[in-house]
Each structure stands twice: as structure tokens, then as C-alpha cells.
Amino acid sequence: MLGSSSFAAESPVDGLNPLQGFHDPATLFIVAGDAVGAQAAGDAAALVGARVAGSSGFGDLPRPQDLPALDMILIEAAEASPDALESLLSWGRGIREGAGPRLVVSFAPEQLDQVAQALAEDVQLLCAPDTAERVAALAVAGRRQALRYPGATESESERLRRLSDEVARIAETLTRLTFAGANGHAQGRDGYAAEPETQGASRPDPDGGPQAAGDEPMPRPAAIRALIRARRLRAQFFDPQLFADPAWDMLLDLMAARLERVSVSVSSLCIAAAVPPTTALRWITTMVEAGLFEREDDPMDRRRAYIALTDKAFDGMRNYAAAVRRLGLRVF
């Protein structure tokens, strides 16, 4: 399977197929560099009911014109060297051009910056995923691809996007509950609660809301960092599964970074989000699409990208801080 490209016409497994209801079982092409990655991809494909139409290793990627008709491509890139990963990502970008099959990329945490810099927002990124996350990603990719039929409306696409996000969230929750630690708490999660006064602050309304006066002082970076530390401290006293507010925590981190005039990499921002990297990446994509975050290339390293607040988001955070101050509250 890994030595050369292969194409097959396998039948989907029997049982529940989350991709049915739109068209025939989704067709999938797998790229994996070793037997472990190939097995993980194959297991996920079987569970989601996709038909594996072919596979290849890292060194024998087929030309786009040689691929069969596909709905999705799953790249298991965790074992790729930096140069091999660059080739895989370039191949994937070429496949996606011209509205090609949906792309799902699984990778290791140390590859996060390189992957996030190279691929567009419509690619499903999975950082060190488990089986449930792979299955959710393939289900989402298959359903999104299935919606691309004549007559599909933008409202239908938006509803499907929201449904896809919810499917992925539920899959992650089920995984944490399934592999809970001996203390009864799910492992691998570092979250914290959202205070009542910050609810909704991660989505500032550009057409309304309180406005800061021209002479209002800027929030102090040290005060913002202190707020972030206080929010994380709550996880020592409460089950962290109960709390998560990645959008707000990323906004706080980027606000402090902008005032400090420092750059924030994608991997660093994922840590600031205090949720699993795959979840953080989805939130970054959402915030970019909302016009609150923007990507900046690293001039010294083309394999890395930075994330920064847009002027719209910066103004929203500054005006929020001014409104809180006028109420006599000390948030930051």
C-alpha cells in the first residue's frame, strides 16, 4: 500500500454510514508514510463508511490528472520530514485548486506552524488526532462536498458549516469521556470558564456597542496577562471540562501581544486557547473568516505564519475595556 500509488474499487463497510443521505458513499484517497498512519486512516474510513479509491506513500504521489473522481483526500503527515511535508502540502494545494476534493491533513504538534502556514482555511487540520476526530473530520468533509450540487444556496452551506462544527465538537467530547482518567476526569483538556461580563466579547459588533472616548487610556499588557493567568487558575479548583472560551482567550493573548509589539505564531496561539490544537485551529479559522484575526507571513521563515488582531478586533477590545472602566469595574 505504501510503496506505490494504488487505486481500488472497494465497497464501504456495512452498517451506519454518516455520509449517506446526500449521495453514494464518499470516495477517499489516502496518503500515508508508514503502516501506522495507513491503518489509522483506513480505520477511520471504515467507520465513516467511505470507499477507499486508492492510496500512496509520500514519495510516489500521483499527478492530479491521474487521480480517480474523489470526494476527499486524507493525508497522514505526522511522520513526514520538513521537506517531505512541504512536498505533501504543495501537492495538496494543487489538488484543492479548481474546487477539487476536500482535504483532511493529520499531523504532529511540532508540524503545526508549517501546516497552518501552507494550507487554506477550507482544509480540515487535525493535530495529533484520535480515531473519533478522524471520523468526525471525514464526515464533515464528505457532507460539505456532497452539498456542492447545482441549486445549493449559501444559507444551506452556512447551516451545514454550523452542523459540521457541532459534529466535530461532539466527537471530541465523546472521546474525552471514553478515555477518562482514573480520577473520573477526561484527560488532555486545559479549559477555563467564561466570566459573565465577557460573554459575547469575542464577537464584537462593528455596527454598534459602546465606543471609547478619544482620551481613554489603552489597557496595560501586564493587566491582560494577569487576567489570563487568573482564568487558567480556575482549572485547579474546578473540572476543566466544564469551562472553555478559546475565542476570548485568543483575543486576550493577541491584544496583549499587539500592545507589547510582539508576534504570535499559530502554535503559540493554540496554546493560549487552552483547548486541543485541532479545536484551536478551527477557532482561528472562524476568527479569520469573521474579520477579527489576520495571518502574517514570517519574513524569515516561509514555513511559519503569525496571527494578529485586525484593526476591527483591536478597536473592539479597546472599546470593551473602556466601557468596563466607565462602569467602575477592573477587568484589565
pLDDT in tens, 43-91: 999 999 999 999 999 999 999 889 989 999 999 999 999 999 999 999 9
Which CATH architecture does the domain made up of 196-326 adopt? Orthogonal Bundle (1.10)
> Cα–Cα distance between 89 and 105 in angstroms, integer?
9
- For residue 16, the model assigns a pLDDT of 39
Hey, how many other C-beta atoms are within 10 angstroms of the C-beta on 207?
5
> Cα–Cα distance between 181 and 184 in angstroms, integer?
6
C-alpha cell at 320: 470593551
- For residue 183, the model assigns a pLDDT of 43
pLDDT in tens, 91-141: 998 888 766 799 999 999 999 999 988 776 678 899 999 999 999 899 888
Burial class (CB in 10 A: 0-12, 13-18, 19+), 223: middle
The answer to whether 204 and 320 are in contact (CB under 8 A) is yes
Between helices 277-289 and 154-178, what is the axis angle to 10°?
160
User: Which regions in the chain score pLDDT beneath 50?
Assistant: 1, 9-23, 147-150, 152, 154, 175, 179-213
Which amino acid is present at 74? L
Alpha-carbon dihedral 59, 62, 63, 67, rounded to 10 degrees: -160
**What is 6-178's CATH topology?**
Rossmann fold (3.40.50)
DSSP string, 289-317: HTTSEEEEE-TT-TT-EEEEE-HHHHHHH
- For residue 87, the model assigns a pLDDT of 94
> Cα–Cα distance between 109 and 203 in angstroms, integer?
28
> Cα–Cα distance between 108 and 34 in angstroms, integer?
14
The answer to whether 235 and 268 are in contact (CB under 8 A) is no
Q: Domain residues of the chain, as ranges?
A: 6-178, 196-326
- For residue 201, the model assigns a pLDDT of 37
